[in-house]
Amino acid sequence: MNYKQKYYLVPDDIEGETDISRKIAKIKYFAQQSRIEVFDMIHKRGNGHWGGSASCAELLATMYFHILDINSENPKWEDRDRLVLSKGHAAPMLYNLLSHKGFFPFKELTKMFRSIDSRFQGHPCMVKTPGVELSTGPLGHGISVGVGMALAAQVLKKNYRTFVIVGDGCLNEGESWEGVMSAAKFKPARLIIMVDYNKVQLDGPSDTIMPLDPLAEKFRAFNLNVAPKVYDGHKVDEILKSLKWAQENEKEPCVIIYKTHKGKGVSFMEDNFKWHGSPIDDESYKKGRVELENTLNTYLDEIK
């Protein structure tokens, strides 16, 4: 039976939920439901980045359906919170959640994903796609631009928050650390750098290509305020705890590191660099989709 026939969660079910425990369960369910939709979309198109999209599903679902103050009817609202997806290859998951948030039709996304001249290119485009705050793809400039956005809020006396989601590849780039130095010097308030630390990138494990550990200590050495622990980026309650810490420390830039898994949800794809951006063949799709559906169904009792 198709998972939609069992129970399909819509955004109103999440945003109208007043009990925080049930809301956490619904966000978890929605993140997994989104994984299935992204898995379908990438397989159908024959290309797209599954690994990095899967690793940030809970992070993005939590941000868009519980944290961010944004308005899909007015994407350029001056007082909106900003979320920069520096790891732009995770565009499929970003597009999926923006569509459910009402920035554009979900049917248009599934039909036009990665099509020539569509507004859903392989990496996000702020000029074409509503809800996208920054065109990303070349890794590394997310933090730098995020610092600029946070400084603009300070100059304009705005209270919006700026969130930047970075991956291992972003932190291999020197520009990221230039941005970190700028953040440490100018100390713009309400800037939160969120590290999707899955330790796998395009052509191998990060520890082989360019080791980042000890990562927290590196950020601290650059004089940024780093969360006291590494959080589980696949547990919504952990993500909320981390963001509560950031809120309590919002007078200066903050860094939160999340342990995640590349390709989360499909056992033979998890933590495997080969599934960074490879096409999902028919056999892998059939096997992987069953696993994703089975996990989704185990969450069902928590939301009913």
pLDDT in tens, 220-251: 999 999 999 999 999 999 999 999 999 999 99
How confident is the model over 150-175, as a mean pLDDT?
97
Task: Please say if the pLDDT value at position 4 is more than 70.
Answer: no
Task: Please say if the pLDDT value at position 5 is more than 70.
Answer: no
40: Cβ contacts below 8 Å, ≥ 6 apart = 110, 289
How confident is the model over 84-98, as a mean pLDDT?
98
- What is d(CA 203, CA 89) in angstroms, rounded to the nearest whole number? 14
* 47: Cα separation from own chain's centroid: 19
pLDDT at res. 3: 46
Task: Please say if the pLDDT value at position 1 is more than 80.
Answer: no
What the chain holds in terms of domains, given with CATH numbers, is 3-303 (3.40.50.970)
How confident is the model over 129-148, as a mean pLDDT?
96
pLDDT in tens, 242-289: 999 999 999 999 999 999 999 999 999 999 999 999 999 999 999 999
Mean pLDDT, all residues of the chain:
96
Question: Residue 127 burial (CB < 10 Å; 0-12/13-18/19+)?
Answer: exposed
